[in-house]
Structure formats: C-alpha cells, structure tokens
Amino acid sequence: MKYPEVTTLLSVLAVVFLHGAHGWDAPPFCHSYDCPEFTVVNKYEDFEERAYQVSRWITVDGLGVSDHDVKAGFTKLWDYTQWDNQAGEHVNTHTWPALVSTTEVEDGGEKHASFSFYVAPEDTVLPTPNDASIRNETMPACTIYVRTFSGFPSEYNFQENLTKLRDALTQAGKAFDSHRYIAAGYEGPWTLIGRHNEVWVHAA
C-alpha cells in the first residue's frame, strides 16, 4: 500500500509499494517492478536521452508545488486508489515512478502543477473517480532528457539538478521544452541510502 504521510516534495512522490514489471527488461531503479517502458537512445556525461513508449497515468492538478500542495494532490490520488471511486474498487498503483509535473507561464509568472501515478499496463479499465478533478490520461510516445541524482530529495536539490540539466542540454545543442519539467521519484521516505531521483525535461 502507499504511504501518504510524507512532507517533502519528492518523498511525497514515493507512496506506493511495487508490482512486477512485464514485457521488457526494466532498469535496476525500478526494483524489478512496473515502470513506463523506454529505450535509452544516448548517454551523455550529465544526462540521458530516453525514448518513452505510450503510457497511462492517473493525474490530478494542484495549486502549486509546496509541501502542502504536493501532499494534498497525492492524497487525492491515494484515496481514489483505495476504493474512493464509483465502483468502490481498489486500483493497482503498485508502480514507479510517481511524478510532480510543473509548467511555467511563458512570462515567468505563475506555475501550474500536477501529480501523477503510473498505471500498470494490465489495468486496462479504471473505475470512475468520485472526485471529478482526477483524470485518466495518456502520455504519448516522446523523447525525454533525464538527469539522475542520489541522496534524500528536496526542492533545493531538485531545482539544482534541473538547472544543471538545462545547462547541459543547451551546451549539447538539444532543443527542449523550457517551460515544463518533471520530478520523478522511485523510493519511499523509509529508504535512506541508494536512492534514485530523476529530473525530466521533454525534447522540443
């Protein structure tokens, strides 16, 4: 089951135990459980280029990315998976990663945030949420640039690694979406060593 009582940005992401992956050789940081399928296109010194296949997610929008906002967003998703839906069914979200996605307004103003759990491929039909703000969405096949960092995640070290990723992409001549970025978490807050955290930026 998930662990909703968390307070830091990326720790809140990791609220699920894991369920076995099927159909591809998942990397070690998926811990042999369900992750969205991807192929590594290229590895660079400071980032990795991945081609992701189509994947499904349950998502809810949030007011921001403060600890309170993140906890509120993931608690909504958690409640939905724990029978708070019109069918009264348990939804299998034993998957990684969980995401915090942020989109910046082009003038540098306010930010739009959303929170997502990956949906396992075998869960072809999901129950209708009681909370109309929760949606089932599909991420199309896409190229994502990824920077990995270790240690216990925080908003500070996420932003630090986002800046490093953007700088490395610019130096490498890669076109990318400069207004959208994603924090991806693969461990719960009880994991103190060997943590795997990611920053995602979509290719333009």
Residue 127 phi/psi, 5-degree rounding, is -65, 155
Mean pLDDT of 77-101: 92
Q: How many CB atoms lie within 10 A of CB 125?
A: 7
Q: Helices in the chain by DSSP H: which ranges?
A: 9-13, 67-81, 155-172
Report whether 13 contacts 187 (CB < 8 A): no
Domains of the chain and CATH, by start = 31-202 (3.20.80.10)
Summarize pLDDT for 7-63 with one digit per residue, the tens: 344 444 444 333 333 457 889 998 888 999 999 999 999 999 999 999 999 999 998
Rounded to two decimals, the pTM is 0.85
